[in-house]
Amino acid sequence: MRRIVVALLLLGFMAAWWVTAPSGFSELELPGHTPDAVAGERVFWAGGCASCHATPVNGKRAKGADKLVLGGGMELESPYGVFRVPNISPHADGIGGWSMLEFVNAMQHGVSPAGKHYYPSFPYTSYARAAARDVMDLKAYLDTLSAIAGGPGDHSLSFPWSIRRGIGAWKRLYLDAAPVQASMAEDPLIERGRELVEGLGHCGECHTSRDRFGGLLKDRWLGGAASPEGKGRIPNITAGGENIASWTGSDIAYYLESGFTPEFDTVGGTMVAVQENMAHLTSADREAIAAYLKSVPTVD
């Protein structure tokens, strides 16, 4: 009997180890694409990289040219503990020396070059829905920026969240590259907006409620959520939202460009950084985002 129990425990451990194993693309699965740093700059702003990875200045979010100093250091407090945002500059302390495959796997599978899981405070569950060629372009752009030495250190998480291997089981439930909303290939404008909102823009990470394990409730897609900073709520940006319902697509696009609402109010809170990023996109991209938001099902 003892041998049977030991064997069952061993089998259970082996199964858990297999289920939680990190995995990613192989070299052959990368598209045949020549990375373009100019296109990568658009991806950088669409992805909001500076909002988290720019090194804080005097304890505050970086502004202006400082947004391109990507030494990390911001601390994100959460119910699970404190996440510290890493250096993503082309220095050895950041992503310097990473291969293209390592970068794409980090962005879209949440796997480090050392073969370990990243925590989903890094929104790879959204970036998984981006086109791999866009991620490759982003790497080309990041490689043109200043190399910054140093890093913020590891996260400070409580048990059991401190067991990084367990993220493998979480990914089995929540890491899915499939579109949240059905593909709109017949409408290129909405389809481009879907790619930006669901993928690079990772809008759902803040605007969608989560379950007890931190996974997005896709039946409440973009319907508003508790603020990740612990105060207030992130608004509903479906047609059921207080503002969006009455805004036209042009209103939304202009808001993303200028920071002004149709009521002549101005953007506030954490959305300030997002709007500043969106202002770097093309008019066509902002119009695509607006078209997608006007098309998603209403959440009341």
Verify that 170 and 248 share a domain, yes or no: no
Verify that 126 and 198 share a domain, yes or no: no
Q: Is 228 helix (H, G, I), strand (E, B) or coil?
A: coil
Q: Does a structural domain hold residue 4?
A: no
Structure tokens, 221? 């897609």
- Report whether pLDDT(3) > 70: no
Structure tokens, 260? 């002004």
Q: Does a structural domain hold residue 11?
A: no
- Report whether pLDDT(33) > 70: yes
Whether residue 17 contacts residue 163, with contact meaning beta carbons closer than 8 Å, is answered with no
Q: Among 45-54, 138-147, 179-188, 254-263, where is mean pLDDT lowest? A: 179-188
- Alpha-carbon distances of 277 from 51, 239, 256, rounded to whole Å: 8, 23, 9
| Half-sphere exposure (Cβ direction) of 40: Cα atoms closer than 13 Å | 18
**What is the reported pLDDT for 84?**
94
Domain assignment of residue 54, given as a range: 24-178
Digit-coded pLDDT (tens) for 216-259: 999 999 999 988 766 778 999 998 888 788 899 999 999 999 99
For residue 178, give the amino acid letter.
A
- Alpha-carbon distances of 124 from 38, 70, 198, rounded to whole Å: 22, 18, 11
**What is the reported pLDDT for 240?**
87
Beta 233-234 vs 225-226: how paired, if at all?
Answer: antiparallel
| Half-sphere exposure (Cβ direction) of 162: Cα atoms closer than 13 Å | 8
Q: Does a structural domain hold residue 12?
A: no
Verify that 289 and 203 share a domain, yes or no: yes
Q: Does a structural domain hold residue 8?
A: no
Whether residue 295 contacts residue 180, with contact meaning beta carbons closer than 8 Å, is answered with no
- Report whether pLDDT(15) > 60: no
Please report which confidence band the pLDDT of residue 280 belongs to, taking 50, 70 and 90 as the band edges: very high
Specify the number of domains making up the chain. Answer: 2
Verify that 31 and 157 share a domain, yes or no: yes
Last residue of a domain, one of 178, 204, 239: 178
Beta bridge partners of 213: none
Q: Does a structural domain hold residue 54?
A: yes
Please report which confidence band the pLDDT of residue 167 belongs to, taking 50, 70 and 90 as the band edges: very high
What is the arithmetic mean of pLDDT over 71-83?
Answer: 88
Q: Does a structural domain hold residue 118?
A: yes
Verify that 123 and 223 share a domain, yes or no: no
CA pair distance 189, 292, nearest whole angstrom? 8
Last residue of a domain, one of 178, 209, 235: 178
Higher pLDDT, 43 or 227: 43
Verify that 286 and 236 share a domain, yes or no: yes
Verify that 298 and 275 share a domain, yes or no: yes
Q: Does a structural domain hold residue 94?
A: yes
DSSP-assigned letter for residue 65? G
Q: Does a structural domain hold residue 10?
A: no
Verify that 143 and 240 share a domain, yes or no: no
| Half-sphere exposure (Cβ direction) of 123: Cα atoms closer than 13 Å | 21
Verify that 50 and 124 share a domain, yes or no: yes
pTM of this prediction? 0.90
CA pair distance 174, 233, nearest whole angstrom? 23
Verify that 149 and 222 share a domain, yes or no: no
CA pair distance 181, 252, nearest whole angstrom? 20
Verify that 124 and 207 share a domain, yes or no: no
Last residue of a domain, one of 129, 148, 178: 178
Verify that 30 and 166 share a domain, yes or no: yes
